[in-house]
Chains A and B, each alone.
Chain A
Amino acid sequence: MPRWGMVIDLDRCTGCAACEVACKSENNIATVAPEQAALGRTISWMRVMAEVEGEFPNNTLRFAPRPCMHCDNPPCVKVCPVEATYISPEGIVGQIYPRCIGCRYCANACPYTVKYFNWYAPTWPESERAHLNPDVSVRPKGVIEKCTFCHHRLQKAREEARAEGRELRESDYQPACAEACPTRAIVFGDLDNPRHRVSELRHDPRAMRLMEDLGTEPKVYYLTPRT
């Protein structure tokens, strides 16, 4: 059974935020009004974190795209009272929206703060409505939502492969962020499959994971910058 994961090369990331935009349009993520955004209610399953290093004029900006880590030992799953969030056999941490009661325990338990609460029913301008992705639900008010590694793409790719009577290839299933990344900083695949690039990259000496000391065993690896 595959174990899906991601390797993000921070040396290649230019902070262009194409991954963020691709994610939002792929997953029907609603935009939030400025005053709500000021309250920290923005929803962004993939977010490019920026950090300023050094003092002006000798400063640099460092970027790190941050999706859900899809931990092997997810703290969010442990606190959910209704099993609305759980880890699938393939290691994807799923969120079942009709089950979610909106208690937000998981959002508080997540050390990476990648679970987002829907404070309002999502709205789009009329002209945007036709752009919604039919493969992904539109979440109602009062539920938590999160990155799914574009799991719907996996299902589509699997269907395609089965209909054609062949094995699933690495390139068949890529989340929207990895596909959109112009510098190919985001690499996605099966961590346990030696033919997939991620399985090699995660053993790179530069590879690290966020907050590894917590024992959450994230499946998103970062390759630290060389400089």
Chain B
Amino acid sequence: MGMRVAWLRRRVAQVRARPGEFGIVAAALLVVSGAIVAVAQGPGVAQPIAFNHRKHTQDLQLDCELCHSYVRTGAHPGLPSLETCAMCHQATQGTTREAARVTELVAQGRPLTFEKLFRLPPHVFYTHRRHVGIGRLECRNCHGNIALTTRPPARPLVKIRMGFCLDCHRRSGQTRDCIACHR
């Protein structure tokens, strides 16, 4: 042990004597820690189409429910299928490359599978019906400004943890019974 401490002291003295080496060590540490963070976070969620939420919800004033059909009645809000896109994209809409691709997919009848972005752990029993249909919560209460994004985000805009749920339940006087969400 004593030997190691002595080695470390010598090493620190060497690095101090040569500031250039210190910079290299710091840069290497930065790269390694960045790589660890990136690996820990995972690759994120990739979507088949670079869907522009802002275009659809703000410029075209479409309702969230148009594509997320079960948001008021079901546990899951649902993601749009190709048929939903085809309601408008049968003919070319707009000038973007992505819009042209959607029309192409519709013409070919190839399925389009969007990936879920917000995921809850399997022991959490949440229903959109209770929160949106009955409780009349706005989408942005939990999903942040997803409606204003121009590209699909790789990671959820809001980190939904139990504290996040409980904060709201406390403020609005809703149940804080464990079995209301966990069973």
Contacts and interface: CB of A to CB of B under 8 A. Distances in A.
Query: What interface size band does chain B fall in?
Result: 10 to 19
Interface residues of A, number: 20
A80 interface: no
A1 to B, nearest CB: 11
A159 B125 CA distance: 13
A112 to B, nearest CB: 20
Contact of A163 (B134, B178, B180): B134
Contacts of B125: 135, 137, 152, 155
Interface in A155-201: 155, 159, 162-163
A96 B130 contact: no
Nearest to B123: A98
A151 interface: yes
A181 B182 CA distance: 28
A86 interface: yes
A94 B178 contact: yes
B179 A92 contact: yes
A94 B133 CA distance: 27
A77 to B, nearest CB: 12
Contacts of A54: none
Contacts of B180: 155
A96 B181 CA distance: 10
Given A159-B130, A159-B134, A163-B129, A97 B179 contact: no
Contacts of A151: 179, 183
A226 to B, nearest CB: 37
Interface in A72-109: 86, 88-90, 92, 94, 96-99
Contacts of B122: 137
B177 interface: yes
Interface of A: 86, 88-90, 92, 94, 96-99, 135-137, 148, 151-152, 155, 159, 162-163
The 9 closest A-B pairs by CB, nearest first: A94-B179, A98-B123, A162-B134, A88-B177, A96-B182, A96-B178, A151-B179, A159-B130, A137-B123
23 contacts: A86-B178, A88-B177, A89-B177, A90-B177, A92-B179, A94-B177, A94-B183, A96-B178, A96-B179, A96-B182, A98-B123, A98-B182, A135-B125, A135-B183, A137-B123, A137-B125, A137-B183, A151-B183, A152-B183, A159-B129, A162-B134, A163-B133, A163-B134
